[in-house]
């Protein structure tokens, strides 16, 4: 299992919040201890769901884990990769 993101706890220890394991969800980054992917969290937030709604729908999910998923996604986009956005013509 690969740890991808860490978040400080109140006691200063590090918890692994975002992990990837080839045996879980085909290796996609997930919230540790769940099968909830970072991708799903982003899709639901983009669709207008709130953090509170996500936590209510998925009891094992926390607001802290959602923030870690967002931090992970932002870090992934900082990589030296070009993401072309194609314009569609009507």
- To 10 degrees, the CA torsion angle through 71, 76, 78, 80? 170
- Asked whether residue 90 is domain-assigned, the answer is no
- Asked whether residue 66 is domain-assigned, the answer is yes
CATH number for the domain that contains residue 45? 1.10.10.10
Q: What is the mean pLDDT of residues 84-90?
A: 73
At 87 the pLDDT is 75
Taking the complete model, does pTM exceed 0.85, yes or no?
no
At 85 the pLDDT is 78
- Asked whether residue 84 is domain-assigned, the answer is no
Of 90 and 66, which is predicted with more confidence? Answer: 66
Domain count, the chain: 1
- Please, where are the H alpha helices in 18-81? 38-46, 51-57, 63-77
At 89 the pLDDT is 67
Q: Which domain holds residue 16?
A: 2-77
pLDDT in tens, 13-67: 335 899 999 999 999 999 999 999 999 999 999 999 999 999 999 999 999 999 9
At 38 the pLDDT is 97
- Asked whether residue 85 is domain-assigned, the answer is no
- Asked whether residue 89 is domain-assigned, the answer is no
């Amino acid at each position: 299992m690969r740890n991808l993101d860490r978040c400080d706890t109140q006691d200063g220890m590090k918890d692994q919040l975002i992990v990837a394991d080839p045996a879980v969800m085909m290796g996609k980054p997930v919230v540790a201890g769940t099968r909830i992917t970072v991708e799903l969290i982003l899709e639901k937030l983009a669709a207008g769901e709130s953090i509170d709604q996500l936590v209510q729908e998925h009891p094992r999910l926390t607001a802290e884990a959602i923030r870690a998923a967002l931090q992970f996604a932002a870090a992934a986009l900082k990589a030296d990769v070009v993401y072309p956005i194609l314009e569609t013509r009507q």
